[in-house]
Amino acid sequence: MSGIESWPKRWSEEPKRDTIAEKVKNFISPPPPLKRQIMIASYRVATQMNKLDYTLSKLQAYDRQLFEKVVNSLTEGDRSRAAMYANEVAEVRRMTKVIMTVRYALEKVKLRLDTTLIMGDVNADLAPAIVALKQVAGYLRGTMPDVFTDLMDIDEELQTAVTQYTSGAVPMLDNEFVTEEAQKILKEASIVAEQRMKQEFPELPSVEGAPTSTGQQGSATAGASK
């Protein structure tokens, strides 16, 4: 039986081990089927999305406070103070754009995981999700290290699970199709985040010494690379 033909069995059942050490290890602590591991990963990704939603709500509230201070300072004729607050707004919005992009990317990753549960297509759905998950996690390395660590753990566990349960038919995580699909996830998430930023964050008044409206939010990729 070929690797592809035996996939349904590996999808739901424990794979057979060849070495005695592996058999003993599985007897003591057998690994769960790949399907269950993907379900766990999907739940854990949703948990990280909730953390990001909470952070985004706090950033948006802080942005409103700073925006009011910009307007009040301009009303009082204190342009120097207004510029100071406007610069702070620009930094908050840059961080918000990065986190928002990650949040929507995780939503798409979760959708891929859930689709894999239904269709069982590792190469078309799961592999791009694994690659995108690792890239997305990198955006939060310096901003939200706890979420970064959790996402990297999820990614590593998925890679290990796929390697264990697709022996002889291991999906390539660095081929052109997978890379393009992963980049599509990030690009679509960035577009959605950009649209939401324009809808939910009012444009700052013109203040000398403050970033322009175009430069306030920046790109998630640029923000993540800092």
Determine the structural domain holding residue 126 and report its residue range.
32-220
Which pair of structure tokens corresponds to residue 91?
């930094």
**Pick the residue with more confidence: 35 or 86?**
86
- Residue 124 vs residues 112, 171, 173, 184, 194: alpha-carbon distances, Å: 9, 9, 11, 13, 27
Of 7-11, 95-99, 209-213, where does mean pLDDT reach its minimum?
7-11
Output the pLDDT for position 127. Answer: 83
Is residue 173 assigned to a domain? yes
Alpha carbon distance 40, 147 (integer Å): 16
- How many separate domains does the chain show? 1
* pLDDT tens digits for range 124-150: 678 888 889 999 999 999 889 999 999
**What is the predicted pLDDT for the residue at 1?**
43
From CA 219, how far away is CA 13, in angstroms rounded? Answer: 44
Amino acid at 21: A
Residue 127 lies in a domain: yes
| Residue 17 lies inside a defined structural domain of this protein | no
Domain membership of residue 176 (yes or no) is: yes
Is the predicted pLDDT of residue 108 greater than 80, yes or no? yes
CA 36/CA 10 separation, integer angstroms: 12
Q: How far apart are CA 84 and CA 73, in angstroms?
A: 10
| Nearest of 95, 105, 157 to residue 135 by alpha carbon | 105
User: Is 27 part of any domain?
Assistant: no
**Distance in angstroms (rounded) separating the CA atoms of residues 140 and 219:** 14
User: Domain of 155: which CATH number?
Assistant: 1.20.1260
Q: Does the structure show a pLDDT above 80 at 174? A: no
Q: Does 185 map to a domain?
A: yes
Angle formed at CA 111 by CA 106 and CA 112, multiple of 5 degrees? 95
Tell me if the pTM is above 0.85: no
pLDDT tens sequence across 43-102: 999 999 999 999 999 999 999 999 999 999 999 999 999 999 999 999 999 999 999 999
Q: Give domain status of residue 81, yes or no.
A: yes
Q: How confident is the model at residue 153 (pLDDT cuts 50, 70, 90)?
A: very high
pLDDT at 44: 96
Look over the chain and give the mean of its residue pLDDT values, rounded to a whole number.
Answer: 80
Q: What percent of the chain has pLDDT over 70?
A: 70
> What's the pLDDT score for residue 180?
87
User: Is residue 149 included in any domain, yes or no?
Assistant: yes
pLDDT of residue 181: 86
